[in-house]
Every structure is written in structure tokens, then in C-alpha cells.
Amino acid sequence: MAHVERTPYAGELEISATDAKDILFDLPDHATKALKHEKDGVDEAEAELAVALPKYAGVLGIAPEMMQRIEDSTKKITLLRSKRGRVRKLEEVLRESELLHEDEREALLSIIAETVKKTSARLDPSVKAAFEKTLKYVSQTADKAAATRRKRKAAESGRVG
């Protein structure tokens, strides 16, 4: 088990999107590529529109409600971004916790495998058969590394000779 500093998570465990249910959409794969995205300066542009659009909407032939629609979209974006930030943090904690517990399990399996090998070598060889799959599982990384070393050595031997 790797000794990694850990702090119990004290953050939010439940995140609801119920208040955003009417503005949530599931798009087909790759559909977001066709969508336009926010660029730098949107806040300044929106502030300018709040002043200029009511004054010039008629001249431009734009419905006065257009500003309200922009403001509504901005509120929706703000709500969704708030949710996503909280979800990202919880996802990070879930992923890190999963990895930590995975590491712990791998360490425990290694301890058992080492004990089986020692017991088999020193006390009772028959014990090894009962743990065949565990021993194979635990030795995968070492077996793969050994195979890689053999391949490299064979390749080097072929080049030199």
C-alpha cells in the first residue's frame, strides 16, 4: 500500500440538478462540435447591450425582448456552471478514493501472494495450488516486465550479431 496523505472528504456528497431539469438536454454524440462557444469579452458585450439595445432595438429591427432572452441564457449558463464545478469536485474525490482503495486491495493481494509463496517454499508446497489464480494475478506486472526484457535482449542480440 502506498503511503499517501489522505484527508476524509468533508465536502458535498449529494448534488441535485432538479432545479435545472427544464434546461438540461442530452445531445447526440459529437453534436457539441456544431455549437458556438463563449469567447473572451462576453461580459463586456452583454453590459453594452443592456444599455444600447433598449435604445436602438427599433432602429435595428430587433425585438426588445432579445435582451431578456440573453439575460435568461446567462442565468442558465451560470446555474449549469455552478453545478458542473460541484460535480467535478465530487467526481475527483470519487476517482481518487477509488484509486486509493484499489491500491489498498492490490497491496493486500500482494501480501497474501508473498505469504503463499513463502509457506509453499518452506512449509507446505501443496498450499500453492489453492492460490493459483491469485498468484497469477499478482505476478502479471512482473511477468510482463520480464517478457519485455527478454524481447529487448533478443532484439539487441540480433542487432549486434
- Give the model's pLDDT for residue 160: 58
What domain range is 99 assigned to? 41-160
Report the first-to-last Cα separation within the chain, whole angstroms.
Answer: 44
Picking from 74, 76, 71, 72, the residue whose alpha carbon sits closest to that of residue 21 is 76
Residue 11 lies in a domain: no
- Give the model's pLDDT for residue 23: 97
Residue 30 lies in a domain: no
What is the residue type of 1?
A: M
Unique residue bearing C-alpha cell 500500500: 1
Residue 3 lies in a domain: no
Residue 96 lies in a domain: yes
Residue 99 lies in a domain: yes
Dig out the grid coordinates for 12 from the structure.
458535498
Whether 161 has a pLDDT exceeding 60, the answer reads no
Residue 4's pLDDT band (cuts 50, 70, 90):
confident
Residue 130 lies in a domain: yes
- Give the model's pLDDT for residue 3: 84
Q: Per-residue pLDDT tens for 92-126?
A: 999 999 999 999 999 999 999 999 999 999 999 99
3-state secondary structure of 62: coil
Picking from 136, 141, 142, 17, the residue whose alpha carbon sits closest to that of residue 83 is 17
The total number of structural domains in the chain stands at 1
